[in-house]
Amino acid sequence: MNKDIKFLKETLNLAKKGLSWTNPNPMVGAVIVKNGRIIGKGFHHKIGLPHAEIEALNNAIESPQDATMYVNLEPCAVFGKTPPCVDAIIQSKIKKVVFCTLDPNPKNHGKSLARLKEACLETSVGILETEARKLNETFFTFHEKKRPFVAIKFAASLDGKLATKTGDSKWITNEKARIYARSLRNEYQAVLVGVNTILKDDPNLGVRIKGKKDPLRIILGSKKQIPTNCQVLRDQNILIISAKAIPDLLSALKEKGIISVLVEGGGETLGHFLDDGIIDKVYAFYAPILIGGKTAISIGGKGTQTIEKALHLKNVSLKKFDDNFLTTGYL
Amino acid sequence: MNKDIKFLKETLNLAKKGLSWTNPNPMVGAVIVKNGRIIGKGFHHKIGLPHAEIEALNNAIESPQDATMYVNLEPCAVFGKTPPCVDAIIQSKIKKVVFCTLDPNPKNHGKSLARLKEACLETSVGILETEARKLNETFFTFHEKKRPFVAIKFAASLDGKLATKTGDSKWITNEKARIYARSLRNEYQAVLVGVNTILKDDPNLGVRIKGKKDPLRIILGSKKQIPTNCQVLRDQNILIISAKAIPDLLSALKEKGIISVLVEGGGETLGHFLDDGIIDKVYAFYAPILIGGKTAISIGGKGTQTIEKALHLKNVSLKKFDDNFLTTGYL
């Protein structure tokens, strides 16, 4: 058991190296262990490239016959952009496969587990399941809820203002907080803002870290509203979309295979997500300032009638950036 | 120097025992040390009762002749409700007086220091000055800025709402946070709310801890607006006052000898203090909930035009109450 945990943790660490590049695939790492020693490891580098299991087999420094394969997710069972991993595993004469959790994608769910058992391989499922689900929380939500994982992010004064009454919002939070906030974009397949945010702030919406992939920029609005010299129009990595309601929007994004979206504003767009209660994760950044003003910008929408009906976050954590701080939680 | 710090820390600890009871006097503790050993100590228990220095002299277990007196504030030099401490100290034949800081009250400021020098006592001023000023921050502000120390307190959702659009605000924060918030009232001579808060919430505004003194309850409004069965009218410890502007209000409170006030709401009243920039300390409690709504209640007033003009807090600290938290800072 202790060695299983050790090797599965290794798969989780390997998996993370694919962050942002694997979307809409999950992040997966695999190690092959023989006589207590890792003889091969791999991770899924990027959508379209070999899966972690195949990488580990290809990288094995000796025969995988009678070895154990550790992997953080159930191997795939169907032809996608690459052939099914389960076939390669069985052909490799690996003796046992240990994975944290079943694949939530209905195309794969439980199928490889059944195939492995039929082929008389030993199997183990469930160790570090919580950690494995957390790592791929966007992927699990996408398949289990049939919609993209929705995170919202905002930066506010202590009195919850996202901008002053004149629309000034540059910058509420300090540089460390802003750099961290930008880095979060790397964890999502797409970022989304309402068109008013483009008009007011002309944001870049990029990760701006060398070697990191920018997410798809989704603008809620119509193309004719957006000035052609806006920063978001700098390349083709953009989707301009209008929708009557948030569920319609998310259905459209699901059809496009977008498993996760980070909604960054503005106040009304965030309010619409809040009104529909379709938020999975919240990143709330605060600076120790007071702005005030009845007409200053804060999260809008209709709002809840009562405190009881407010959205309550769980697993709340606090992170400090000098005198700024971030509250993160799940719904 | 090290022993001076040790004995002065003892005076600060003694002083704290008078919290809330000494107003509008400062909290003061005194110890008398002879041959390295404390021979007497005391603190100012309550306005009208003997000062700390007199208590320490009265409690001395041997003659204070040639001893050193430690006290966190310059002894008083004038007749108030009690005779000047400096006279008693000189008469006691104490040899040296060590205190952290001069008394900011112009009636006393530097006067005892001069008297002690004239009487050929040794003196030392300035050790632990920062700590001593912090302990009596409300008293120092009152005398130095010629107005009460103003702290504001609010409890908000992560999106800065103090109540939903229907006015529901019970309860945003959890019980631990609310108990702590109530205990803060003990640190102020008065609490203040706008009359709308009375009408909406019928708050108690008490400390509700056995043996602790309730602050004066100040209601901004007119008596005829307040229903006679309101909780705040339960006893005579109340001041109903109207004022055209915050500076006028604070002048009136200063004339009444109120050295500190904790402003607890509602959104518009807090907004007025913010607009005038007359806030010394902020207690911002948050619950991990999202309320939303363009018409929900948040800190109002006019608000600042720009982020640069927002009130910026210093010495910011965070305190957790399970998944609720408190940000405290100074302006």
Q: What is the pTM of this model?
A: 0.94
Of A164, A279, A292, Cβ closest to residue B275 = A292
Query: In which residue are the tokens 């301009």 written?
Result: A240
- When pLDDT is averaged across residues A44-71 and rounded to a whole number, the result is 97
SS3 labels along chain A: CHHHHHHHHHHHHHHHCCCCCCCCCCCCEEEEEECCEEEEEEECCCCCCCCHHHHHHHHCCCCCCCCEEEECCCCCCCCCCCCCHHHHHHHCCCCEEEECCCCCCCCCCCHHHHHHHHCCCEEEECCCHHHHHHHCHHHHHHHHHCCCEEEEEEEECCCCCCECCCCCCCCCCCHHHHHHHHHHHHHCCEEEEEHHHHHHHCCCCCCCCCCCCCCEEEEECCHHHCCCCCHHHHCCCEEEECCCCHHHHHHHHHHCCCCEEEEEECHHHHHHHHHHCCCCEEEEEECCEECCCCCCECCCCCCCCCCCCCEECEEEEEEEECCEEEEEEEC
8 A C-beta contact, residue A59 and residue A67? no
Q: Is the pLDDT of residue B278 over 80?
A: yes
Return the pLDDT at A80: 84
Under the banding of pLDDT at 50, 70 and 90, the label for residue B159 is: very high
List, in sequence order, every residue forming a beta bridge with A37; answer none if it has no partner. A34
> What share of chain B has pLDDT > 90, as a percent?
96
CB count in 10 Å sphere of residue B2: 6
Q: Is the pLDDT of residue B267 over 90?
A: yes
From chain B, the residues in CB contact with A313 under 8 A are 158, 288-290, 323
Neighbouring residues of B270: CB distance < 8 A, sequence distance ≥ 6:
A292, B152, B154, B263, B299, B300, B301
The complex's ipTM? Answer: 0.94
Residue B49 DSSP one-character state: S
Q: How open is the CA angle A41-A44-A46, to the nearest 5 degrees?
A: 145
- When pLDDT is averaged across residues B254-265 and rounded to a whole number, the result is 97
Return the pLDDT at B81: 83
Return the pLDDT at A179: 96
- When pLDDT is averaged across residues B3-26 and rounded to a whole number, the result is 97
Of A275, A310, A323, Cβ closest to residue B289 = A310
Sheet of B29-34: strands edge to edge?
B37-43, B29-34, B68-71, B96-99, B122-125
8 A C-beta contact, residue A102 and residue A113? yes
Return the pLDDT at B317: 96
- When pLDDT is averaged across residues B244-258 and rounded to a whole number, the result is 97
As given in the structure block, the two tokens for residue A227 are 């000035």
Under the banding of pLDDT at 50, 70 and 90, the label for residue A195 is: very high
B179-233 pLDDT per residue, tens: 999 999 999 999 999 999 999 999 999 999 898 999 999 999 999 999 999 999 9
Q: Strands B122-125 and B96-99: what pairing?
A: parallel
Under the banding of pLDDT at 50, 70 and 90, the label for residue B3 is: very high
Please tell me whether the peptide bond between B36 and the residue prior to it is cis, using omega within 30 degrees of 0: no
Mean pLDDT of chain A: 96
From chain A, the residues in CB contact with B325 under 8 A are 318, 327
Q: Is the pLDDT of residue A328 over 80?
A: yes
The span from the CA of A138 to the CA of A148, in Å, is 7
Return the pLDDT at A198: 95
Backbone angles phi, psi at A317, to 5 degrees: -135, 155
Name the residue type at position A328.
Answer: T
- When pLDDT is averaged across residues B323-329 and rounded to a whole number, the result is 97
Q: Which residue of A has its CA nearest to B291?
A: A310
Cα dihedral A79, A83, A88, A89 in deg (nearest 10): -50
Q: Which residue of B has its CA nearest to A155?
A: B159
Of B286, B292, B302, Cβ closest to residue A274 = B292
8 A C-beta contact, residue B72 and residue B11? yes
Nearest Cα of chain A lies from the Cα of B220 at a distance, in angstroms, of 19
A130-160 pLDDT per residue, tens: 999 999 999 999 999 999 999 999 999 999 9
The answer to whether the CB atoms of B292 and A307 lie below 8 A apart is: no
From chain B, the residues in CB contact with A310 under 8 A are 157, 164, 289-291
Chains A and B form CB pairs within 8 A to the count of 186
Neighbouring residues of B30: CB distance < 8 A, sequence distance ≥ 6:
B11, B14, B41, B42, B43, B52, B53, B55, B56, B69, B70, B71, B72
Nearest Cα of chain B lies from the Cα of A265 at a distance, in angstroms, of 13
- When pLDDT is averaged across residues B70-95 and rounded to a whole number, the result is 94
8 A C-beta contact, residue B64 and residue B32? yes
Nearest Cα of chain A lies from the Cα of B255 at a distance, in angstroms, of 29
Q: Has A10 been annotated as catalytic?
A: no
Q: Which residue of A has its CA nearest to B289?
A: A312
Of B159, B270, B311, Cβ closest to residue A160 = B159
Return the pLDDT at A268: 96
Name the residue type at position B234.
Answer: R
The answer to whether the CB atoms of B303 and A295 lie below 8 A apart is: yes
Under the banding of pLDDT at 50, 70 and 90, the label for residue B309 is: very high
From chain B, the residues in CB contact with A295 under 8 A are 303
The span from the CA of B170 to the CA of B95, in Å, is 58
Under the banding of pLDDT at 50, 70 and 90, the label for residue A211 is: confident
The catalytically annotated residue of B10, B53, B74, B264 is B53
The answer to whether the CB atoms of B307 and A325 lie below 8 A apart is: no
The answer to whether the CB atoms of B158 and A157 lie below 8 A apart is: no
Return the pLDDT at B15: 98
Q: Is the pLDDT of residue A82 over 90?
A: no
CA A8 to chain centre: 20
The answer to whether the CB atoms of A284 and B158 lie below 8 A apart is: yes
The answer to whether the CB atoms of B289 and A169 lie below 8 A apart is: no
Q: Is the pLDDT of residue A224 over 90?
A: yes
Of A293, A323, A329, Cβ closest to residue B288 = A329
As given in the structure block, the two tokens for residue A278 are 């379709």
The answer to whether the CB atoms of A293 and B271 lie below 8 A apart is: yes
Q: Which residue of A has its CA nearest to B156?
A: A159
Alpha-helical segments (H) within B17-159: 52-59, 85-91, 111-118, 129-135, 137-145
SS3 labels along A129-194: HHHHHHHCHHHHHHHHHCCCEEEEEEEECCCCCCECCCCCCCCCCCHHHHHHHHHHHHHCCEEEEE
Interface test with A, best of B153, B268, B299 (most A CBs within 10 A): B299
Region at B68 (left for phi over 0; alpha for psi -120 to 50; beta for the rest): beta
| CA-based torsion, A251, A254, A260, A266: positive or negative | negative
List, in sequence order, every residue forming a beta bridge with B329; answer none if it has no partner. B282
A232-272 pLDDT per residue, tens: 999 999 999 999 999 999 999 999 999 999 999 999 999 99
As given in the structure block, the two tokens for residue A90 are 């069985």
From chain B, the residues in CB contact with A291 under 8 A are 303-304, 307, 310
Q: Is the pLDDT of residue A1 over 80?
A: no
The answer to whether the CB atoms of B164 and A295 lie below 8 A apart is: no
Of A271, A288, A310, Cβ closest to residue B313 = A288
From chain B, the residues in CB contact with A314 under 8 A are 288, 323
The answer to whether the CB atoms of B156 and A161 lie below 8 A apart is: no
Q: Regarding predicted confidence, which is higher, B80 or A307? A: A307
- When pLDDT is averaged across residues A5-11 and rounded to a whole number, the result is 98
List, in sequence order, every residue forming a beta bridge with A265; answer none if it has no partner. A193
The answer to whether the CB atoms of B311 and A290 lie below 8 A apart is: yes
From chain A, the residues in CB contact with B151 under 8 A are none
Of B166, B293, B311, Cβ closest to residue A301 = B293
Return the pLDDT at B123: 98
Q: Strands A29-34 and A68-71: what pairing?
A: antiparallel
B108-145 pLDDT per residue, tens: 999 999 999 999 999 999 999 999 999 999 999 999 99
Q: Is the pLDDT of residue B304 over 80?
A: yes
Q: Which residue of B has its CA nearest to A283?
A: B158
Query: In which residue are the tokens 């008083």 written?
Result: B76
The answer to whether the CB atoms of A306 and B160 lie below 8 A apart is: no
